[in-house]
Amino acid sequence: MRFAALVVVGDQEGHVGFGIGKAAAVPDAVRKGAVVARKNLVSITMSGTTIPHAVTTKFRASRVVMKPAPPGTGVIAGNSVRAVLEMGGITDIVTKALGSTNPVNVIPATFKALGQLRAPDPR
């Protein structure tokens, strides 16, 4: 019998990563997942406390929709997406997970969406 742990790490200042660790014991799986997550850190493009523009993405059977929100809105998201966004330091955003809500699919879809964000043109 083996255990799998999906781990999200971040500094709440615009850097977040995730990893999956598998082992015979839960603590070992969590430790392995954390090591992989730290290796896969990405930077989030932010506009203040939210994202610069709306984005929709798909990963396998999951779709994630993210929209910027005015200050004071908070993080309106499901458990999996909320974990990623809070660890990344985003405090005002509206999201929706469509299709499969399996965290193994939703979290990579969230990272794919964060990777599609671009900073506003300063012109």
Domain boundaries, the chain: 3-42, 47-115
Entry pTM = 0.91
pLDDT of residue 13: 93
**HSE-up of 10 (CA within 13 Å, CB side)?**
21
Q: What is the mean pLDDT of residues 13-27?
A: 96
The CATH number of the domain covering residues in 3-42: 3.30.160.20
Give Dmax over CA atoms of the chain in angstroms.
Answer: 57
In the predicted model, what is the mean pLDDT of residues 64-88? 95
Q: How far apart are CA 65 and CA 97, in angstroms?
A: 6
Q: How far is CA 92 from CA 9, 43, 50, 51, 81, in A?
A: 19, 17, 5, 8, 13
**Which CATH class, in words, describes the domain spanning 47-115?**
alpha beta
Is residue 121 over pLDDT 90? no
Please give the average per-residue pLDDT across 40-67, as a whole number.
Answer: 95
Is pLDDT at 112 greater than 70 in this prediction?
yes
* pLDDT score of 120: 77
Q: Can you say whether the dihedral through the CA atoms of 71, 88, 56, 48 is positive or negative?
A: positive
Residue 123 is predicted with a pLDDT of 66
Strand-pair partners of 10: 16
Please provide the average confidence, as pLDDT, over all residues in the chain: 95
Q: With pLDDT > 90 as the criterion, what percentage of the chain qualifies?
A: 94
Secondary structure class of 99 (helix, strand, coil): strand
